[in-house]
Structure 1
């Protein structure tokens, strides 16, 4: 790695540009240039604001510098491909890349390609590509499905993957890894670079990035690692109520709106992050009601129209907004240097995610990023403290890699067939250069091909599922040319609930709401969306026609998975509970909460599973303090209630948050151990998943991703109900006649790994065998209050009922925190 800090190793134009701005080329930027010149793939891990994107593009800029060309014309065709997880990030990078290109006078054409790009522009890009193309994994896969892709990418020199941690471990990463395998076959000389600020395990990403099998030894290859210069430590503060107490329940942090508004007034530009689209609209509405000074405040999330998103992004880039409320749609790499404060509403759920969001403030390596965390309740306060400590200590977390999905592979096979005929063995060898699919054998690949060919054994009698055919020479090709159009209309990895467009009568689009929400609307109803109060005029076909309204309290909620609490953060929270000396830094009311819990019951120690049982309101409750996240707790609740029913304990239901599961019934649980034995994950787990909606939902997603069920046809689009009906029908047929179908296997993999967090659930049950502590109480404990406030409210969108939750919590709090007559004397005797 070069330690050079001068500009002598770069073309004169580039060196002069840096010097003219008073900048220096940083060590890691030189190192990335050295790796490119040496023909090496490289992963750059550097703090936010360290110039990672410029480091990724520096070799490209050098190749196009006039002094480096020495009078020769600039290279023709596509030179560099940039892949990002977000359309907004690609748009922002284009804006920031064009500035040095224009100021240096470099002959480089830069364009973006995403779902927002017009069809005319996409066609022109295939025929006359720019030198630098900025795109997303889905758009790249579609581009590779055209016959022109072989000529288009033949001269590719460089691939830059930004914010690689955000999608490499999921299905979008599977799709990108398959696209990289195809690019390696077309342009084996193209070098890969990946960029990230938040990696807990860089080695696994180095291996994912490198093309496997390139050296012929069969060993796992890895890209080179480049570490960036360390930046300034972030300044993170946890906001607390000025006069009130930290709330017992709720998630929205509505209590902080007044203080948040004052912070917005005190800063130039504030970025307010929320964890859901509903909360983005909700917090924006709360801020707008408090906005006595008429400050320019915007809202941004993925369901808004392209025009609305671009308008807000451009306004932020121009410094025209004082605050912007957003979701994860803006937490990756967006470079707005004038942001001086980031606010996280609710729990961050992971130290890496928090660090990424904090880095939007300042966005300079030598400037401290300022952030304020707003906990929604007391457990979220502990989580915020844990995340802050992890950031201060430089600890990161993240998801682990797993084998590539078979549904994604089926989609890729179809894309390859659209690009041109292929030989089975050649395509398999190409696919196996991707680490995600290096495990793929001939037999498994043959199953996938059989599925793409005809839908599989049980469906091959239906012509609608015939997509590819094999000729006498063993070459696979499309069954009919129109299959290419059908594939491109339906391909993709993100399977949201079906959406209806929200439009004014003049045709202006505001964005999209889910079909299930739109189905509840009638003319005259009002709702809040895109920062506006709207009245429904009509719901027609796939559109909700609206007009401006004076006032509305209803906000669309969206489905989708909750952000998972990382194992790393969960362990930190549990360690805090038993670190009594550390309680001194907590607010008085939080410390009192824990002290009373310690007095009345006990606190769950690391490695221990605490279960409390107590009566309340004529029912018997058990609280399981798992700290394994909402998904695992939901699954555990389902399984425990089934066992309670089998044992005659008359279960009534359960509620869960990330930290605790509360189950109630008409009879008390005297011994929870039999309800938690690990064998629950064998037959009972299988039976529950098979009977529940989880596997059907997982099958719906893999059926759409794999192309078995199409959402769009030329001139029409299926509704969500039609897609669900189709997938449910096929699911029942396959379960009966072909239970080993490749898509059922893929659905099971999803249901186990993603929807139920079965790995964390297994760890929890194993822990319960080793160290289960059961405490029987005469009433609700202080630690159980946050989850108990959720009973009867679990189906209501987060944030909508925070005030009601606080009112309802008062009775529980009084019960949990009071000391019964004689209890103090009894405790003294015990001590």
Structure 2
């Protein structure tokens, strides 16, 4: 481009600022069709992304949409709008900046289509919705740049696949469109650049100075972590001391349920009444906004949160991040660490709090990975076809289209570059007719071909229903929680439908840090009253349950096989030393299996280190094969690191259980009629438009959707077993809930090398898994005492009491 216009130079000078080299470089390359900027948190990457836009509009504020900004989070879009308005207003620039998300009022959304601002800040779902309207060509006329923030987060999900398909449509409407991607955490820059660029166009990669090493360590606690569990209650006193010693602390958790429990325990121990908030995706929007506003004002000393605050929000006063529980993923940890000291060339300060003994090892492995700048990332497969089906329906809503043109657009997306015409036509046929077994039903007859060869909606009225179901985020079935009393009641948030089904009037549970009493269910709303004098249940939130990444598990295995462990706390080092003495350490190139008796049952422990989903699947497959061998398995438990099976007869030779062909055959048999397949089918069927979650005036409950999807699944299996949605379901199950790829990775690295140790009693590494088995709701002191005594006896048996 050019140097900054004089008004910008004067504004920077008044503030005593100078452009960072990567910001200058972004300006210099502003005409590039594609740019990927990788800059550390606090390095001004968002400003770098917007500088060319602001400079162009400052000199020529022509009406119409100039730049589209895409964020994975609504809160991030609002934060960017607030930050952008400051320079625009102080320089007196005639630039309109607006956001558009699911929270934007309908009247404003309608006006934005007819009279868009210069800069529109939005999310992938809102962009897909905008592209579904007949007037989208007018809305986007003149669009010159699109800025995708936190692109690494989108690249790992179907939301990102949908966004890239939307960009292919935008590129067709605006051939000169320039693409910009921003991120602080990219493990493979060339892969993300290929993902962002229009295939086969290149993409410039700019990498800023990564800045100083973060100040990151494990938090020392007086009490050792427990052997199992994820609540980290032992760390509450130490965390409180850290809050007192810092201005503002973010306390991250991996699940919403854990965040609620920790906040409750932290508040009970908060004798000084320090202002502490909680923030996660199941809380009411009003409550989240209230907490965010308090943080901006600097009113809170700490906020307990989840992934809802992982990305981008610029709270400069945060001077400490605490991660409760092992991070499971190095990129996510780096992102969270970057929330502290959100300034360039200022080291971020973070503390890790392992929730149990295994997590002590994982936290140390994560610390070493961060210091080595060794980010993790699982390879992604080809573009998902359920998302493509939704994109075809969205395109049809906007008016007639040519299949040839749309196929070319789709193949310009990196993830779909190898899509065959036959595969595309199968998706088009499904969108048009529902497929062979469903083509006789009117509700799935959605597209028709016109005499000129183009395709359009069979009934234009169906566009409204398609728009109501746009998106790839799979919300679990949630019910609103409201305070009973005033008309409408104050919204507190949402709980899972499955959890609500376990409640009876009088039960108490935690939500938003409050203890509430369940009064009843009215019109699909959970009505509650405040009740602070009862011990609560913990509401279940089906937020993402992270599995430890392949890279982290390999680092853990290397750590376990070190000669000694001076970096580890004594309690954990002694535990590992005892394991080495009475058994062996798991290795990356061999599979450790242990057999031992316990409480009259034969136990078999497999240390696969393949992540929770894969180890859960391995448990299902092994018990199935053991059943065939007559070994009478009774049950199993799985963690990220191991699977423990118990039964009536001991395993004498594990090798036949682990043949790759046998496991695959068992998987096929198990998948055929399994609930996992039905759950996966429902998710893909909703994305692909076979099942509508939303309809005019109503939203189907989870049970209604499950019922209709189960009938459809069984019908297609019987009458059309090669149906497109069944093909998609199998692909999704294998790489999602089942994660069979991680099992195959494990089998490939061990190459049949299995160490089977027959031990006289519970081994040190297996003991925590037995405690996972005993994790049941504790309702009173007597049961707590019995559980404690059982734990002490178990640990004594393992020699680690």
Same fold (TM over 0.5): yes
CA contact (8 A) 1:247 1:806 kept: no
Residue 369 of structure 1 pairs with residue 348 of structure 2: yes
Residue 194 of structure 1 pairs with residue 163 of structure 2: no
CA distance in 2 between partners of 1:723 and 1:256 (Å): 42
The range that moved more, 174-183 or 443-452, is: 443-452
Task: Name the SS for the 2:116 alignment partner.
Answer: coil
Of 279, 284, 287, the match for 2:263: 284
* Gaps in structure 1 of 5+ consecutive residues: 3-7, 213-219, 820-831
Residue 21 of structure 1 pairs with residue 15 of structure 2: yes
CA contact (8 A) 1:249 1:806 kept: no
Q: How does 1:693-712 map to 2 (within 5 A)?
A: 693-712=675-694
Partner of residue 30, structure 1: 24
Partner of residue 228, structure 1: 208
CA distance in 2 between partners of 1:107 and 1:643 (Å): 70
Superposition deviation, residue 616 in structure 1: 0.6
Superposition deviation, residue 803 in structure 1: 9.8
The range that moved more, 8-17 or 76-85, is: 8-17
Of 186, 206, 209, the match for 2:193: 206
Superposition deviation, residue 195 in structure 1: 0.8
CA distance in 2 between partners of 1:207 and 1:556 (Å): 41
CA RMSD of aligned residues (A): 1.8
Are residues 58 and 807 of structure 1, via their aligned partners in 2, closer, same or farther at CA, if it must alter by over 3 Å? Answer: farther
Residue 48 of structure 1 pairs with residue 41 of structure 2: yes
CA contact (8 A) 1:250 1:802 kept: no
CA distance in 2 between partners of 1:309 and 1:427 (Å): 40
Task: Name the SS for the 1:649 alignment partner.
Answer: coil
Superposition deviation, residue 806 in structure 1: 6.3
Partner of residue 503, structure 2: 521
Superposition deviation, residue 312 in structure 1: 0.9
Residue 239 of structure 1 pairs with residue 239 of structure 2: no
Superposition deviation, residue 265 in structure 1: 1.4
CA distance in 1 between partners of 2:208 and 2:123 (Å): 25
Residue 117 of structure 1 pairs with residue 104 of structure 2: yes
CA distance in 2 between partners of 1:437 and 1:796 (Å): 50
CA contact (8 A) 1:655 1:794 kept: no
CA distance in 1 between partners of 2:458 and 2:491 (Å): 38
CA contact (8 A) 2:324 2:352 kept: yes
Residue 721 of structure 1 pairs with residue 703 of structure 2: yes
Q: How does 1:165-180 map to 2 (within 5 A)?
A: 165-180=152-167
Partner of residue 776, structure 1: 758
Residue 589 of structure 1 pairs with residue 571 of structure 2: yes
CA distance in 1 between partners of 2:789 and 2:220 (Å): 19
Task: Name the SS for the 2:519 alignment partner.
Answer: strand
Q: How does 1:283-322 map to 2 (within 5 A)?
A: 283-322=262-301
Question: What do residues 169-217 of structure 1 show as CA deviations (whole Å, max 9, x unaligned)?
Answer: 32111101100100000011110000111111111111111111xxxxx
CA distance in 2 between partners of 1:655 and 1:493 (Å): 31
Partner of residue 644, structure 2: 662
Count residues in correspondence.
794
CA contact (8 A) 1:200 1:396 kept: yes
CA contact (8 A) 2:588 2:750 kept: no
Residue 159 of structure 1 pairs with residue 132 of structure 2: no
CA distance in 2 between partners of 1:109 and 1:273 (Å): 35
Partner of residue 467, structure 2: 488
CA contact (8 A) 1:673 1:768 kept: no
CA distance in 1 between partners of 2:286 and 2:410 (Å): 38
Partner of residue 60, structure 1: 53
Are residues 663 and 620 of structure 1, via their aligned partners in 2, closer, same or farther at CA, if it must alter by over 3 Å? Answer: same
Q: How does 1:137-536 map to 2 (within 5 A)?
A: 137-212=124-199, 220-242=200-222, 244-504=223-483, 505-506=485-486, 507=488, 508-536=490-518
Q: How does 1:522-671 map to 2 (within 5 A)?
A: 522-552=504-534, 553-581=536-564, 583-671=565-653
CA distance in 2 between partners of 1:287 and 1:317 (Å): 22
Are residues 470 and 624 of structure 1, via their aligned partners in 2, closer, same or farther at CA, if it must alter by over 3 Å? Answer: same
Are residues 796 and 664 of structure 1, via their aligned partners in 2, closer, same or farther at CA, if it must alter by over 3 Å? Answer: farther
Question: What do residues 460-484 of structure 1 show as CA deviations (whole Å, max 9, x unaligned)?
Answer: 1111112221122222111212211
Task: Name the SS for the 2:146 alignment partner.
Answer: strand
Question: What do residues 747-796 of structure 1 show as CA deviations (whole Å, max 9, x unaligned)?
Answer: 11110011122111012223444421111100011111121211143899
Task: Name the SS for the 1:580 alignment partner.
Answer: coil
CA distance in 1 between partners of 2:379 and 2:243 (Å): 37
CA distance in 2 between partners of 1:161 and 1:806 (Å): 51
Superposition deviation, residue 369 in structure 1: 0.7
Superposition deviation, residue 13 in structure 1: 1.7
Task: Name the SS for the 2:226 alignment partner.
Answer: coil
CA contact (8 A) 1:41 1:224 kept: yes
Superposition deviation, residue 725 in structure 1: 0.4
CA distance in 2 between partners of 1:619 and 1:283 (Å): 35
CA contact (8 A) 1:681 1:762 kept: no
Using structure 1 for the length normalisation, give the TM-score: 0.93
Question: What do residues 592-623 of structure 1 show as CA deviations (whole Å, max 9, x unaligned)?
Answer: 11111111111122322111111111011111
Are residues 802 and 462 of structure 1, via their aligned partners in 2, closer, same or farther at CA, if it must alter by over 3 Å? Answer: farther
CA contact (8 A) 1:198 1:355 kept: yes
CA distance in 1 between partners of 2:295 and 2:786 (Å): 35
Are residues 270 and 484 of structure 1, via their aligned partners in 2, closer, same or farther at CA, if it must alter by over 3 Å? Answer: same
CA distance in 1 between partners of 2:38 and 2:335 (Å): 13
Are residues 29 and 806 of structure 1, via their aligned partners in 2, closer, same or farther at CA, if it must alter by over 3 Å? Answer: farther
Superposition deviation, residue 805 in structure 1: 7.0
Superposition deviation, residue 139 in structure 1: 1.1
CA distance in 1 between partners of 2:407 and 2:785 (Å): 57
Superposition deviation, residue 156 in structure 1: 0.5
Question: What do residues 680-725 of structure 1 show as CA deviations (whole Å, max 9, x unaligned)?
Answer: 2432111111222111111000011111111121111211110000
CA distance in 2 between partners of 1:225 and 1:513 (Å): 43
Question: What do residues 224-266 of structure 1 show as CA deviations (whole Å, max 9, x unaligned)?
Answer: 1000122121111201321x33321111211101111111111
Superposition deviation, residue 410 in structure 1: 0.7
